[in-house]
Amino acid sequence: MMRTGTVVACSAAAVLVAVAAGPIEPGRVAASSQQKVLRLATTTSTVDTGLLADILPDFQARCGCRVDVVAVGTGQAIELGKRGDADVLLVHSPEQEAAFMKEGHGIRRDDVMYNDFVIVGPTGDPAGVAKASSARDAFRSIARAAAAFASRGDRSGTHTKERAIWKSAGIDPAEEGPQRPSWYLSVGQGMGETLAFANEKQAYALADRATWTSMQGRLPSLRRLFGGGSGDENPDRDLRNQYSVIVIDQARHPGVKAALGLQFADWLLSKPTQARIAAFGRDSAGRSLFYADSDEYKATDRVRVESGGRSRTFTLGEIAKLRSTTLSGVEYIGVKKGRLGRHAWTGVSLTDLLLALDPGIASKSRSTSTIEVVSSDGWTASFTWHELFGSVSRGEGLYRAKGCNECHGLKAEGTRPEGKRPAPKLLGETYPVGDTTAMIRSGTAQHEGITAYTADRLSDADLAAILGWLARPNQAGTDDVFVVPPPRRIAMLAYERDGRPMTGRDGLIQLVVGFDEFASRYSHWVSEIRVRY
Ligand code: HEC
């Protein structure tokens, strides 16, 4: 018997939740079983936090259907999908999901939302996790102190992440059998149960922030020891926790209701539902528990431009009236999805757009300006004035094309990002070519832990040119100008891809940068452009 919000334990780890559009009275259960039913297999966190109970009634009212939620670990949810025992999945284990799609079980997979993981543990913190600089570091201290650690042990997304952290820490605690260290406790249950267990046993645990935030009031012996006060403050980027929706393929599993599944995915990714996801938790927990992340949510159809004391918002229609530019064969690289193929992009170049608002910007007297391009998902791409309106030396161009700017700053001025290792100022310094090449190639010495620049990513000659510019930044000779193949010289806001307007989840306005040598630098949903002096 199921009523609104009733939680019924089905097996050791599975929880079946029915969220009805309206209360179903006992006498009406038979009639309601005639209703269309969507089977959603998901991870425990979407239920334990109360998110699904909050958003699903809206979908059920729209589809005139009932959603049966099976809340298990991601691994089990994926198994249900493989057997055709679910119509849609809402899960969080990118690697397992990619394999699932490759095997052909799903027809569509889209990003829905994300939050992050934190490490919680006993208030006394016997292993000193609060002092760790990364999750890997924290796990090493736990193992060194042989302090109790509660593992989900259920092949969930969180469990998969936890095992990956142990591996990167160079430790591999056996999960069962005589080899299992006595401090490693495998719970084999959902996030809520695992946290309750850790609370009772004074154990450490890896938890998704959403479940932790919504339950922490009931866990007096535990506190958050690593991960910062919010997702933005989390010092370890590897702790990001991405959720996706997957619609199961009916051709592969005939019992599946793919049309209803697609309707569900479209609804989940739509702007109104995403806004509700983004707001969820603000009242009850005092802060959002998930960051809404669908392409449709982030897509923009207007851009605010600020330059030379003026500002104006350009709508998509207004942008399309400016002189257009097409860039062909530019590789589209998603932040999370990787290489997505080569495309022809049409839009307005950044220079034309800025000149439309502020004709004086091309003047040499403005050459110290920095142009910041801000996306709706919070990313910022910065350009120097010289990149857009002047010319740059080969070494300077390569410095940015090869991504040194990501850590050392746009003008090699050095950065001190909160919670991360500061990257020193390089401009004006002379570095020996031989030692620096060795450090950058191997990812050791000062670059310990930084992805190694192999020879195919950065040649010896290019590195020498970068070091030459750093040592003598103001000596850009005329024969030393960074020459990029002409079709790639443009930074632009694109509104058409391969001749077709970009709509909905493809994003309406994206920034495409052509002058990167091995890839376009960014492809995001631009909402604002600011020129700073
Ligand atoms: C992911 C971030 C990151 C990237 C990308 C990066 N660096 Fe670094 N780099 C650092 C950090 C952090 C340090 C300082 C490490 C320390 O000493 O703790 C550093 C140190 C250096 C140093 C030594 C500085 C000194 O004064 O000791 C040089 C030289 C250097 N980087 C050059 C480069 C070049 C050239 C590139 C691009 C090809 C590059 N780095 C890309 C993060 C980065």
Among 76-80, 97-101, 218-222, 297-301, name the one with the lowest average pLDDT. Answer: 297-301
414: CA distance to ligand 1 center in Å?
Answer: 9
403 lines ligand 1 (CB under 6 A): yes
User: What would the mean pLDDT of 145-171 be, rounded to a whole number?
Assistant: 93
402: CA distance to ligand 1 center in Å?
Answer: 12
CA distances from 49 to 43, 45, 278, 290, 499 (A): 11, 6, 13, 10, 43
- Split at pLDDT 50, 70, 90, the class of 261 is very high
User: What would the mean pLDDT of 410-429 be, rounded to a whole number?
Assistant: 86
Q: Whose CA is nearest to atom 2 of ligand 1?
A: 407
- Indicate the average pLDDT of the chain: 84
Q: Whose CA is nearest to atom 41 of ligand 1?
A: 404
453 lines ligand 1 (CB under 6 A): yes
Sequence spans of domains, the chain:
6-112+242-295, 115-240, 299-391+482-532
CB 533, CB 368: distance < 8 Å:
yes
447 lines ligand 1 (CB under 6 A): yes
424 lines ligand 1 (CB under 6 A): yes
pLDDT value of residue 391: 77
Q: Whose CA is nearest to atom 27 of ligand 1?
A: 446
pLDDT value of residue 21: 36
Q: How far apart are CA 322 and CA 140, in angstroms?
A: 56
pLDDT value of residue 419: 60
- Split at pLDDT 50, 70, 90, the class of 366 is very high
445: CA distance to ligand 1 center in Å?
Answer: 10
The CA-CA-CA angle for residues 22, 28, 29, to 5°, reads: 90
- Split at pLDDT 50, 70, 90, the class of 395 is confident
CB 260, CB 469: distance < 8 Å:
no
pLDDT tens-digit profile of 444-499? 888 887 778 888 888 998 899 899 999 988 765 445 555 554 444 568 888 888 88
Ligand 1 pocket test target in 399, 407, 427 with most atoms within 8 Å of CB: 407
Check if 6-112+242-295 and 115-240 are the same fold: yes
Of the chain, the percentage scoring pLDDT greater than 90 comes to: 52
299-391+482-532 CATH choice from 3.90.420.10, 3.40.640.10, 3.20.20.60, 3.20.20.70: 3.90.420.10
256 lines ligand 1 (CB under 6 A): no
Q: How far apart are CA 36 and CA 190, in angstroms?
A: 28
pLDDT tens-digit profile of 210-224? 899 989 999 999 999
Is the model more confident about 266 or about 456?
Answer: 266
Q: How far apart are CA 428 and CA 478, in angstroms?
A: 20
226: CA distance to ligand 1 center in Å?
Answer: 25
Which of ligand 1's atoms lies nearest the C-alpha of 431? Answer: 29
- Split at pLDDT 50, 70, 90, the class of 13 is very low
pLDDT tens-digit profile of 231-258? 878 888 789 899 999 999 999 999 999 9
Which of ligand 1's atoms lies nearest the C-alpha of 453? Answer: 38
**Looking at domain 115-240, which CATH architecture does it have?**
3-Layer(aba) Sandwich (3.40)
Q: How far apart are CA 72 and CA 53, in angstroms?
A: 16
Query: Which amino acid is it at 267?
Result: W
CB 280, CB 55: distance < 8 Å:
yes
Nearest to 194, CA basis, from 147, 152, 148: 152
427 lines ligand 1 (CB under 6 A): no
pLDDT value of residue 8: 30
404: CA distance to ligand 1 center in Å?
Answer: 7
| Superfamily per CATH, domain 6-112+242-295 | Periplasmic binding protein-like II (3.40.190.10)
436 lines ligand 1 (CB under 6 A): yes
pLDDT value of residue 481: 55
Within its chain, how far is the Cα of 281 from the centroid? 20
Ligand 1 pocket test target in 404, 411, 436 with most atoms within 8 Å of CB: 404
Burial class of residue 259 in the structure, from the number of CB atoms within 10 Å of its CB (0-12 exposed, 13-18 middle, 19+ buried): exposed
386 lines ligand 1 (CB under 6 A): no
423: CA distance to ligand 1 center in Å?
Answer: 6
415: CA distance to ligand 1 center in Å?
Answer: 11
Which of ligand 1's atoms lies nearest the C-alpha of 406? Answer: 5
Would the pLDDT of 162 be above 50?
Answer: yes
262 lines ligand 1 (CB under 6 A): no
User: What would the mean pLDDT of 55-76 be, rounded to a whole number?
Assistant: 95
pLDDT value of residue 123: 96
Ligand 1 pocket test target in 394, 439, 440, 446 with most atoms within 8 Å of CB: 446
First to last CA, the chain: 66
